[in-house]
Structure 1
Amino acid sequence: MTSRQLIFNLPVRPALGRDDFFVSPANAMAVVLIEGWRDWAGRKLALIGPAGAGKTHLAHVWAAASGARIVSAADLAGADIPALAQGPVVVEDVDKISGNRAAEEALFHLHNLVLAEGHFLLVTAAREPHLWRLSLPDLASRMMGTQAVTLDQPDDRLLAAVVAKLFADRQLMPGPETVAYLVARMDRSLDAARDLVARIDREALAQKRPVTRPLAAEVMGQSELPDLLDMGQS
């Protein structure tokens, strides 16, 4: 029986630079707009996409390029809005403050002050602005009037690149056959990729084994047998 070792929850440091962001048809338009941010209509942009699609990564890329500060929409109610408005700003997860009157009013004032000062504003959300259900009409109208770009669910090329990056963030370098095996069988979302890589990492540590295709199959609850049978029939 394979011995299992104690696992420590060491911090994982994701790489969030532009060179670490893989461009595919699923996100190409968003990348073009982020890189061409000085030409945003009205000096603002809404970055839309499902959880784990890369919104935070692109927000950090833009913040590094523009010098913007990054803040969660839920934290705006307690923020120093005039101070924030002295430069470009990223506001994340705007769709999560629906019905939070204090946060909505803070975002409304931040939006107006940032633009009045001649700076740029990037907001992120999981859905399009007309679905945010903001209770403050003036804020809702301004958000719906914001240019938006959508990050789609990942295609195979993007998913493979993300899986490889998630492993690299953990200082792991599985072979391309292992990555291809995972991409062909995993749920089609970046959140699923993050969870799967974490589970494989934990199991590799516990069993003191390298990250290989057989280990990946074990973690996914699958057997190599079907693949071997398929090969024999080809």
Structure 2
Amino acid sequence: MAEQLTFDLPARPAQGLDDFLVTPSNANAMATIESWENWPNSKLVLVGDEGTGKTHLTHVWAGLTGAQIIPARDLPQTRVEDLAGRSIALEDADQIAGQADAENALFHLHNLVLAEGGALLLTARTAPSRWGLTLPDLRSRMEGTTLARLDPPDDMLLSAVLVKLFHDRQITVPLNLIDYLLPRMERSLAEASRVVSVLDQAALSEGRALTRTLAARVLDNSE
């Protein structure tokens, strides 16, 4: 009988500080978020590829500061003047480049929040110099903002995330399954979630335990 791994982890997904798994791939970004009161000019751009944990770390910062989280795409419909002095986390800021209404809204949000003592966190896939902003004043402010980077998840983080995702589904996993999955999957938290979902569905549909043999067959067929 295969040895089983069991972890004392939450039974449901969570995005708080205690649920953020710190490994070398994200330790520097986490330390920067925790020391937010020391950010130059009270602002930061958090950069990382999709699936590196930007959203989770944004929620961690919101929990520390009481900040409001706003998707950048919602800026044109947001009453920016109501946010003066508040701490704001703006997600996917790079996606508004070239949209005049959104760029103008971000420019005013930046000035109102910081002038009244708030703090501003922006997330993006790349550094502001690569966003393609067309409003010169906004571009200069964004390019002058301190950066923190999230690297692609390392093996330590992916292993812990996989075990947690299986545990969230009330599945204990064989010791050899995680080691089998790591070199066969894309290095992202989103891919970890997809793999766990696919394997769970396969095990349920066949009415059998999740094993390395089952995982090998399912993943080979999905390629």
More displaced 10-residue stretch of structure 1: 46-55 or 211-220: 211-220
Alpha-carbon offset, residue 189 of structure 1 = 2.4
Report whether the alignment pairs 1:60 with 2:59. yes
Q: For 2:193 and 2:161, locate their aligned partners in 1 and report how far apart those are by CA, in whole Å.
A: 9
1:81-100 C-alpha deviation (Å, 9 max, x unpaired): 12233411100001111111
Compared CA separation, residues 220 and 142, structure 1 to 2 (3 A) = same
1:81-123 C-alpha deviation (Å, 9 max, x unpaired): 1223341110000111111111111111111100011011000
Alpha-carbon offset, residue 137 of structure 1 = 1.1
Q: Which runs of 5+ in 1 are unaligned?
A: 1-11, 223-234
Letter in 2 for 1:51: E
More displaced 10-residue stretch of structure 1: 103-112 or 193-202: 193-202
Provide the residue aligned with 2:163 in structure 1: 164
Provide the residue aligned with 1:85 in structure 2: 84
Q: For 2:84 and 2:205, locate their aligned partners in 1 and report how far apart those are by CA, in whole Å.
A: 48
Provide the residue aligned with 1:146 in structure 2: 145
Contact 1:15–1:169 (CA<8 Å) still a contact in 2?
A: no
Contact 1:94–1:124 (CA<8 Å) still a contact in 2?
A: yes
**Number of residue pairs aligned between Structure 1 and Structure 2:** 211
Letter in 1 for 2:164: K
**DSSP-derived class of the 1:221 partner:** helix
Provide the residue aligned with 1:175 in structure 2: 174
Provide the residue aligned with 1:127 in structure 2: 126
Q: For 1:109 and 1:13, locate their aligned partners in 2 and report how far apart those are by CA, in whole Å.
A: 38
Contact 2:94–2:125 (CA<8 Å) still a contact in 1?
A: yes
Provide the residue aligned with 1:32 in structure 2: 31
Q: Which runs of 5+ in 2 are unaligned?
A: 1-10
Alpha-carbon offset, residue 73 of structure 1 = 0.4
Letter in 1 for 2:35: G
Letter in 2 for 1:27: N
- Structural RMSD (CA): 1.6
**DSSP-derived class of the 1:220 partner:** helix
Provide the residue aligned with 2:41 in structure 1: 42
Report whether the alignment pairs 1:209 with 2:208. yes
**DSSP-derived class of the 2:171 partner:** coil
More displaced 10-residue stretch of structure 1: 69-78 or 152-161: 152-161
Contact 1:69–1:84 (CA<8 Å) still a contact in 2?
A: no
Say which one has the larger Rg: 1
Compared CA separation, residues 170 and 137, structure 1 to 2 (3 A) = farther
More displaced 10-residue stretch of structure 1: 190-199 or 20-29: 190-199
